[in-house]
Amino acid sequence: MTTRVRFAPSPTGYLHIGSARTALFNYLFAKHVGGKFLLRIEDTDIERSTDESTRSILEGLQWLELQHDEEIVYQSNNAPKHRAVALKLLNEGKAYRDFTPREERSGADVKAAIQERAREQKDMRDNPFRDLPKEESDRKADAGEPFAIRLKVGASGKTIFDDAVYGFQERDYSEIEDLVLLRSDGHPLYNLAVVCDDIEMRITHVIRGQDHLTNTHKQVLIYEALNAEKPTFAHLPLILAPNKGKLSKRKHGEVVSMTTYRDNGFVAAAFRNFLVLLGWSAGEEKEIYTMDELVSKFSLDHIHKNNAVFNFDANDPRHWTDDKALWMNAEYIRTMPLEDLIPLVKAELKSAKLWRDEYEDDDKIHFEKTVDLIRERFFTLKDFSSQGRAFFSEDFDFDEAAIAKNLKKFSELQTWLPELAETLETVEDFTHDTLETVIKQFAEEKGGKFGVIMNGARTLLTGLAVGPSMLAVFETLGKEKTIRRLKSQIAWSQ
Classify residue 128 by its DSSP letter.
T
Comparing CB distances to ligand GLU, the nearer of 153 and 207 is 207
Report strand pairing: 36-41 vs 73-74. Answer: parallel
Least Å from the CB of residue 200 to ligand GLU:
14
Strand segments, DSSP code E, in 116-261 are 148-151, 158-163, 167-172, 180-182, 205-209, 232-236, 239-240
Rounding to the nearest 10 degrees, give the CA dihedral for residues 404, 407, 410, 413.
-160
Q: Which of 15, 26, 35, 42 binds ligand GLU (CB under 6 A)?
A: 42
Among 24, 30, 194, 464, the residue binding ligand GLU under the rule CB under 6 A is 194
Q: Which is nearer to ligand GLU, 4 or 208 (CB)?
A: 208
Q: Which helix (H) or strand (E) holds 40?
A: strand 36-41
Q: How far is the CB of 220 from ligand GLU (least distance, A)?
A: 13
- Catalytic annotation on 88? no
CB of 274: closest distance to ligand GLU in angstroms?
Answer: 21
φ, ψ (nearest 5 deg) of residue 379 = -100, -35
Interface residue with ligand GLU, options 4, 9, 137, 256 (CB under 6 A)? 9
Residue 5 near residue 29, CB atoms below 8 Å: yes
Backbone angles phi, psi at 170, to 5 degrees: -145, 150
Single-letter residue type at 111: K
Q: Least separation, in Å, of the C-beta of 181 and ligand GLU?
A: 16
Q: Counting contacts by CB under 6 A, is residue 56 touching ligand GLU?
A: no
From the list 7-15, 122-130, 152-160, 457-465, the region that binds ligand GLU by CB under 6 A is: 7-15
In angstroms, give the least distance from the CB of 135 to ligand GLU: 37
Nearer to ligand GLU, 42 or 177 (CB): 42
Which one of the listed residues 81, 158, 230, 249 is annotated catalytic? 249
Q: How far is the CB of 24 from ligand GLU (least distance, A)?
A: 14
Amino acid at 440: K
- The distance from CA 281 to its chain's CA centroid, rounded to whole angstroms, is 17
Closest to ligand GLU by CB, 137 or 216: 216
Stretch that binds ligand GLU, among 8-16, 237-245, 292-300, 349-357 (CB under 6 A): 8-16
Pick 171 or 212: Cβ nearer ligand GLU: 212
C-alpha span between 128 and 442 (Å, rounded): 98
Q: Three-state SS string across 336-353, please?
A: CCHHHHHHHHHHHHHHCC
Q: Which of 129, 226, 111, 233 is nearest to 171 (CA)?
A: 233
Tell me how far, at minimum, the Cβ of 10 lies from ligand GLU, in Å. Answer: 4
Q: Which of 4, 5, 10, 233 binds ligand GLU (CB under 6 A)?
A: 10
- E-assigned strand segments in 302-373: 308-309
CA distance 426 to 292: 52
Q: Show contacts with ligand GLU in window 200-239 (CB under 6 A).
A: 208, 212
User: Residue 53 or residue 455: which is nearer to ligand GLU going by CB?
Assistant: 53
CB neighbourhood size of 117 (10 A): 16
Our finding on whether 8 is near ligand GLU (CB under 6 A) is: yes
Contact 492, 404 (CB under 8 A): no
Q: Give whichever of 8 and 300 is closer to ligand GLU, judged by the CB atom.
A: 8
Give the residue from 256, 268, 230 showing the smallest Cα distance to 24: 268
Is 31 one of the annotated binding-site residues? no
Is 13 near ligand GLU (CB under 6 A)?
no
- Residue pair 11/155 in contact (Cβ under 8 Å)? The answer is no
CA–centroid distance for 489 within its chain: 46
Q: Point out the annotated binding site for ATP.
A: 249
Q: Which residues are catalytic?
A: 249
Q: Which residues in this chain contact ligand GLU in the complex, by CB under 6 A?
A: 8-10, 42, 194, 208, 212
